[in-house]
Structure 1
Amino acid sequence: MSSSILQLEVAKQALISIFSGIDAQVKQNLKRVLDAFRQHRVGTHHFAGVTGYGHDDLGRQTLDRVFAEIMGSETSAVRVQFVSGTHAIACALFGVLRPGDEMLAVAGAPYDTLEEVIGLRGKSQGSLIEYGISYRQIDLQFDGKIDWESLKIGITHKTRLVLIQRSCGYSWRSSLSIAEIEKIVHIVKQQNPNTVCFVDNCYGEFIETQEPTAVGADLIAGSLIKNPGGTIAPAGGYVAGRAELVEAATCRLTAPGIGSSGGATFDQNRLLFQGLFLAPQMVGEAIKGNHLLAHVFDQLGYRVNPLPLEPRRDVIQAIELGTPKKLIAFCRALQKYSPVGSYLDPVPAEMPGYESQLVMAGGTFIDGSTSELSADGPLREPYIVFCQGGTHWTHLEIALEAAIEAVEFADNS
């Protein structure tokens, strides 16, 4: 038995009780989905789509109600017209904010792709800052945690919206738990009840048994080719929350006066419903894979985040590999065991919206789907790989056998 297989066998034995707990949580989340489907009487007639303007699409309207029920929100808009999670987030921000308003990021710097939306990078693209919206951020503490004391005094009368990024993104910090998001909302509303608490919910759906809107967040947004699409949604994103805020976001997606009433679904409704049904199980498998990754690479002497056996707060597992060769080798090994494009070798390249070159492994059926197994990382120190998703943890186990050996020999190649 090779050393990599032996390490995986040891890790699996250590994780038996963790895996059992994940299965129990999947059951709770699946019940939440089934209750919503039953409450809104989902039937095959909801799978039909419309064309053109998209008026009176019964399937889309029902999906919005089902999704809102699951999210614990007043309403939602689930649309294939959202190009990405970043697009859904941008529509939410531009929908809520007006010239003279302030946006405050309360969990440190935002994800790379939001920097140009805000106006921290790039120019003449119509960013928030170019529209006269000011931006501040409360940096994280040295240990990567929320600076609660600064938050308690950080909201002013100008602070129209606080940005709460649930996932760690490309940073070495803990992703936020639902309890932490609830605490942030409570502190913000104490200082200014009119401040909108907006959560970038990407990578976080179905990780716990509640979503941010169920604990007081005013608005959330995310991508359908991440958790809630269940690996089969072909494209799209969502916004959910208070009705007037969701409508404001959809007016940025379409146009004022059209808002959520437009947007043909092009016969994609069945996949969106089915993906939502599958989502709790897919997320559970991804969490199992993350635990396996963390356990094995921790034993190999690498820094990992989250740590082995820690509760998961999103579907991302970060491993600090330390050298560009190891980062590239890891991604190439994962690509070789992808179902699509296994013959390709990932190479570092520029990506729209990102400051650094990225190396990405993602032989996925849906282009860019991080619900399926993928790994990527920016080519900058300390060379961290971020692993995401996985339709079944055994797929990751197979890929890991190759990744362990590839990383071990990378610097000698």
Structure 2
Amino acid sequence: MKNKILNLINNAQQELSEEFAKIDQLAEYNQIRIIEHMKECNISERHFIPSTGYGYGDEGRDRLEELYALVFGCEDALVRPQWGSGTHVISDALYAVLRPGDNLMSITGKPYDTLEDTIGFKQERLDNGSLRDWNITYSQVDLNRSGQIDTNQILKELANKPNTKAILIQRSRGYEWRPSISVEDMKEPIKEIKQKYPEIFIIVDNCYGEFTQRIEPSHIGADLTVGSLIKNPGGGLAPTGGYAVGTKKAIELMSYRLTSPAVGREVGSYAASYLPFYQGLFMAPHIVGQALKGAILVAKVFESIGFKVLPNWKEDRSDIIQCIRFNSGEELITFCQAIQSASPVDSHVTPYPWDMPGYSHQVIMAAGTFIQGASIELSADAPIKAPYTAYLQGGLTYAHVKFALTSAIYSLYEKGFITL
């Protein structure tokens, strides 16, 4: 049976040569772009040296931020190990630009579950420092039936909410069965909103989307584009941290939230080497390409044996996430456990659903990663609720994704969930 599974996967792989060639071209384009900007910044070994204490005059930190601003095509950047997650950076972005009496509008539907407490969705969790506690309101415009940003409806809502100070765009799908939002999908909405409401800050949660296309949201006018360094831009090497890129005004406000007003970006040391942040950015286009190839193979194989997938193997991608819909919770759990068992780290550990902080349902997470929680490394997670959908992402090497896919198909077959 294992040979039959390998043949299934190898046959699918042979049919993907055209898609893989497109990904190679994308990775090469972004690789060259980053090298050119590294040359422009005269990156040298001295920029890898750590700092201590306040971190005044930290040349490695400051040059890394200069590099990020160039790579992301914007005026300024903050790149800091002190940010612990993507949610942490997004939260800081919201608090940086919003004030009591302002309104936050999400224009890609409901944000990640982990932002619910930041925004203040739940009545029973008042007085935890949420935006709601600070008299900052929230409104939402869902995507249209085609899964696109609904510009006309947004403009209507803005007319009804004149106190809107910030707009949030979530590029990735989160735990939703919807397309990710491409940079092209954002371009016209951002342009129209900015033409009519230039004072509104447009914030893009860029998690999982970096280097999946040739340009980023910051290239087309987003005031703040934020993300995690243990996802795409860290290239699997950055051990922690987050980034924010955008306009000088927005980044200045962000720096005051990062530390304190007046102090801003001038402090913030790192006692370990900055080398993995630089090298990780250098590696990121290639690593993202490996993850994209793996995701396309997974989509092709699972679709061929009768599962619903999103996106399918032919569709354009603007994040690294692959959704697979299973028929039961047992199938879903089996899949995630198989991904864990095929991992280079903690392969002996069996994940089970648990009450994960920030989520309203039990979640199962397969993450046998070198960097804890690094979703640029191969990982899979899912809320245990119908419809039973696994969200697979990452893969430092295509070969690892292929190996894990073989393990997952075999586990599903062995338990009688599929026939081949």
Q: Same fold (TM over 0.5)?
A: yes
1:147 aligns with 2:146: no
What whole-Å deviation, never above 9, does each CA across 1:323-359 have from its counterpart, x for those lacking one?
1111110011111110000000010001111111111
**Per-residue deviation, 1:2:** 2.9
Question: C-alpha distance in 1, partners of 2:188/2:165?
Answer: 18
Question: Paired residues, what number?
Answer: 413
**Per-residue deviation, 1:321:** 0.9
Partner of residue 96, structure 2: 95
Unaligned 5+ runs, structure 1: none
Question: C-alpha distance in 2, partners of 1:4/1:247?
Answer: 54
Partner of residue 262, structure 1: 267
Partner of residue 354, structure 1: 359
Question: C-alpha distance in 1, partners of 2:218/2:414?
Answer: 46
Question: C-alpha distance in 2, partners of 1:388/1:250?
Answer: 30
Does the aligned pair in 2 maintain the 1:325–1:411 contact within 8 Å? no
In structure 2, relative to structure 1, the CA distance for the partners of 1:309 and 1:51 (3 Å cut) is: same
**Per-residue deviation, 1:285:** 0.4
Does the aligned pair in 1 maintain the 2:149–2:189 contact within 8 Å? no
Question: C-alpha distance in 1, partners of 2:416/2:6?
Answer: 21
Partner of residue 241, structure 1: 246
Does the aligned pair in 1 maintain the 2:325–2:388 contact within 8 Å? yes
Question: C-alpha distance in 2, partners of 1:353/1:142?
Answer: 28
**Amino acid in structure 2 at the alignment position of 1:218:** D
1:134 aligns with 2:137: yes
Structure 1 window deviating more from structure 2 (64-73 vs 4-13): it is 4-13
Partner of residue 372, structure 2: 367
Question: C-alpha distance in 1, partners of 2:417/2:311?
Answer: 28
Written as runs of structure 1 = structure 2, the 5 A alignment for 1:51-62 is: 51-62=52-63
1:383 aligns with 2:384: no
Does the aligned pair in 2 maintain the 1:304–1:318 contact within 8 Å? yes
Unaligned 5+ runs, structure 2: none
**Per-residue deviation, 1:107:** 0.5
What whole-Å deviation, never above 9, does each CA across 1:287-315 have from its counterpart, x for those lacking one?
00110011111111111111121111101
Question: C-alpha distance in 2, partners of 1:184/1:268?
Answer: 40
In structure 2, relative to structure 1, the CA distance for the partners of 1:155 and 1:408 (3 Å cut) is: farther
**Amino acid in structure 1 at the alignment position of 2:325:** E
Does the aligned pair in 2 maintain the 1:227–1:279 contact within 8 Å? yes
Partner of residue 294, structure 1: 299
Partner of residue 399, structure 2: 394
* Partner secondary structure for residue 41 of structure 1: coil
**Per-residue deviation, 1:407:** 2.4
Written as runs of structure 1 = structure 2, the 5 A alignment for 1:21-32 is: 21-32=22-33
Question: C-alpha distance in 2, partners of 1:148/1:4?
Answer: 46
**Per-residue deviation, 1:144:** 3.1
Does the aligned pair in 1 maintain the 2:149–2:186 contact within 8 Å? no
* Partner secondary structure for residue 256 of structure 2: helix
Written as runs of structure 1 = structure 2, the 5 A alignment for 1:8-23 is: 8-23=9-24
1:217 aligns with 2:222: yes
What's the TM-score, normalizing by structure 2? 0.96
1:337 aligns with 2:342: yes
What's the TM-score, normalizing by structure 1? 0.97
Does the aligned pair in 2 maintain the 1:375–1:387 contact within 8 Å? yes
